[in-house]
């Protein structure tokens, strides 16, 4: 009788089970060490040996029934739970997708791409380096030792005594020179640089692209030819360039390079401040100190380097009057830049 009651009890409890956790509780309740079925076994000792055999048989039967039934129940419930989860996580393929518009390139990237293409065409390799840079590469290896007064022109943001946000892309040149172990180099280095500046023509963050060539028999004439080619590719075949002498600690001699005004064809306008010329970049022959520090034999090798502000070139090319437009992420501004030129 008791065994029949257990079965009824089990079937009744089973009805209210709704998830796998409850199936486990049901299993422990009936089949666990201290469960209802095991409790029956304690009765054995009160029975005669014949009754014992019969009783044990029945206990085994009910045990088997419950354990098989629970297994089935568990499998059914797990299947149902999985289906429910899949239904909940299903992707509605009929939902319209989000509209990601592929827009124009940023004007700074347009300029970098264009200059890179021109230089790659002349055999230059593109190199990049870290924006958080060591004083050693940003200044010292470029002939700007500690306390050099020319460091004032490039005040920057310091992370600690020896780490700073790079003030130009020249540290990439220093790194490549060291890596090249005294062998020829022909690279351009585009990238973001930082200075303590903030006005309509200067931003605390801006972009440069620099070029460096080191080889035997490299002269100022090579530099002039290279720059004339780059400038004419950027601003038109009719452009003339002009060198004015200048000073940079890492080049000797150093020059500022002007381009004949493309706005007025050198007649004089507000863009060229009535001079007919526009300053576009700085350049020079690599200072022997820089070559020596990077392990080059200055009796054998010479080099030239040039660097231009990508922002300035973009402002000139596209007639942008405030450098801050380039960094304000205003789509009304950015959407004006269409194709590649």
Q: Tokens 């990049």 map to which residue?
A: 128
- Please pick, from the candidates 263, 298, 317, 333, the single residue that binds Zn ion as defined by CB under 5 A: 263
Residues contacting 146, CB < 8 A, separation 6+? 135, 139, 140
- Least separation in angstroms between residue 200's CB and Zn ion is 19
The count of other CB atoms within 10 Å of the CB of residue 270 is 8
- Quick one: how far is CA 21 from the chain centroid? 46
The count of other CB atoms within 10 Å of the CB of residue 188 is 26
Interface with Zn ion, residue 264, by CB under 5 A? yes
Stretch that binds Zn ion, among 117-125, 167-175, 185-193, 267-275 (CB under 5 A): 267-275
Q: What are phi and psi of 240, to 5 degrees?
A: -105, 155
Of 129 and 268, which CB lies nearer to Zn ion in the complex structure? 268
- Least separation in angstroms between residue 235's CB and Zn ion is 12
- Please pick, from the candidates 112, 189, 193, 261, the single residue that binds Zn ion as defined by CB under 5 A: 261
In this structure, are strands 205-215 and 185-194 parallel, antiparallel, or unpaired? antiparallel
Of 58 and 240, which CB lies nearer to Zn ion in the complex structure? 240
Please give the Cα distance from 142 to 210 (Å, whole number). Answer: 14
Of 205 and 263, which CB lies nearer to Zn ion in the complex structure? 263
Q: Could you tell me how many residues of this chain bind Zn ion (CB under 5 A)?
A: 6
Element spanning 276, H or E: none
The count of other CB atoms within 10 Å of the CB of residue 197 is 15
- Least separation in angstroms between residue 312's CB and Zn ion is 15
What value does the CA radius of gyration of the chain take, rounded to a whole number of Å? 40
Interface with Zn ion, residue 269, by CB under 5 A? yes
- Least separation in angstroms between residue 277's CB and Zn ion is 8
Stretch that binds Zn ion, among 28-36, 158-166, 265-273, 328-336 (CB under 5 A): 265-273
Stretch that binds Zn ion, among 11-19, 163-171, 227-235, 260-268 (CB under 5 A): 260-268
Please give the Cα distance from 311 to 203 (Å, whole number). Answer: 9
- Least separation in angstroms between residue 124's CB and Zn ion is 30
- Least separation in angstroms between residue 268's CB and Zn ion is 6
Q: Tokens 């790194």 map to which residue?
A: 175
Please give the Cα distance from 153 to 15 (Å, whole number). Answer: 84
Interface with Zn ion, residue 272, by CB under 5 A? yes
Please give the Cα distance from 168 to 195 (Å, whole number). Answer: 9
Stretch that binds Zn ion, among 168-176, 195-203, 235-243, 264-272 (CB under 5 A): 264-272
- Least separation in angstroms between residue 338's CB and Zn ion is 25
Of 46 and 270, which CB lies nearer to Zn ion in the complex structure? 270
Query: What is the DSSP code (8-state) at residue 337?
Result: -
Chain positions contacting Zn ion, by CB under 5 A: 261, 263-264, 269, 271-272
């Amino acid at each position: 009788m008791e065994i029949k009651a257990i079965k009824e009890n089990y079937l009744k409890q089973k009805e209210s089970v709704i998830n796998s956790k409850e199936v486990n509780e049901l299993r422990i309740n009936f089949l666990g060490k201290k469960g209802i079925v095991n409790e029956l076994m304690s009765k054995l000792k009160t029975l005669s040996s014949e009754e014992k055999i019969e009783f044990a048989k029945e206990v085994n039967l009910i045990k088997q029934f419950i354990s098989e039934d629970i297994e089935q129940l568990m499998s059914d419930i797990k299947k149902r739970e999985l289906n429910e989860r899949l239904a909940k996580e299903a992707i509605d393929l009929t939902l319209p997708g989000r509209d990601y518009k592929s827009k124009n390139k940023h004007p700074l990237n347009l300029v970098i791409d264009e200059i890179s293409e021109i230089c790659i065409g002349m055999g230059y390799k593109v190199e990049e380096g870290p924006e958080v840079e060591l004083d050693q590469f940003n200044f010292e290896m470029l002939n700007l030792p500690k306390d050099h007064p020319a460091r004032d022109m490039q005040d920057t943001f310091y992370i600690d005594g020896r780490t700073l946000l790079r003030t130009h892309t020249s540290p990439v040149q220093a790194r490549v020179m060291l890596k090249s172990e005294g062998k020829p180099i022909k690279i351009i280095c585009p990238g973001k640089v930082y200075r303590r500046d903030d006005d309509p023509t200067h931003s605390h963050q801006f972009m440069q692209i620099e070029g460096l060539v080191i080889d035997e028999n490299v002269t100022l004439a090579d530099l002039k030819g290279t720059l004339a080619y780059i400038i004419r590719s950027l601003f038109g075949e009719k452009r003339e360039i002009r060198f004015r002498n200048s000073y940079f600690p890492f080049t000797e001699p150093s020059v500022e390079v002007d381009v004949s005004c493309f706005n007025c064809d050198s007649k004089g306008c507000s863009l060229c401040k009535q001079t007919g010329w526009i300053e576009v970049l700085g350049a020079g022959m690599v200072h022997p100190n820089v070559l020596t520090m990077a392990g080059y034999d200055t009796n054998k090798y010479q080099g030239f380097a040039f660097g231009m502000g990508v922002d300035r070139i973009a402002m000139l090319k596209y007639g942008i009057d405030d450098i801050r437009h380039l960094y304000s992420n205003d789509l009304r501004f950015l959407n004006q830049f269409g194709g590649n030129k």
